[in-house]
Amino acid sequence: MVAANWKMNGSRAICREFVEHFDVDGSVDVVFFPPFLYTSMLMEGFVSRSISVGVQDVCHVNSGAYTGEIGAEMAVDSGATYSLVGHSERRSLFGETDGLIAEKFTTCQQAGLTPVLCVGESREERLDGRAESVVAKQIGSILRTAGIKAFANAVIAYEPVWAIGTGVNAKPKQVEDTHLQINEL
């Protein structure tokens, strides 16, 4: 899978450009995660292509007095098929805990969205030798809440937080080791 998280970037004009010029041959799953305002526009444009559109986040519940939140059922209604869950920015900037992320993961699946669980460690955690335990804890929360079978309809995305925007790239061996660890869990 190739996933592109637009974060809080984009415009209707950029969406039109993507729809007009972007295509794939279907040999790889491609998912765009634009800001929610643009999901329907991209879905309509990519309807006949092998490109999926997901949302960047969902609330842990599907409806209620949660100003500014998006329910997983709303995301499905908009045409989304995936949702990011546990992105490092949601963890660090919004204080999302492993427990809350597990709730969101379950809510996604109950609504018919495929959760893309983002896991990864900070620079400090890697340097302290805690990379494996951090990732294991993040995945463990889902295992305790939803069980191993929940991962049959989910994606785990390793996000080495220490490499994002730092100019330092994760070495293939580091990523491979983490993927092996994830598979062993």
Who contacts 14 (Cβ-Cβ below 8 Å, separation ≥6)?
none
- What's the 3-state SS for 11-26? CHHHHHHHHHHCCCCC
Count of helices and strands (H, E) across the chain: 8, 6
- Catalytically annotated residues: 87, 159
Whether the CB-CB separation of 104 and 175 falls below 8 Å is answered with no
Alpha helices in the chain (DSSP H): 12-21, 39-45, 72-77, 88-94, 98-111, 123-127, 131-146, 172-184
CB neighbour list of residue 76: distance below 8 Å, 6 or more residues apart: 111, 112, 113
- What does the CA dihedral 127, 131, 137, 139 come to, rounded to 10 degrees? 150
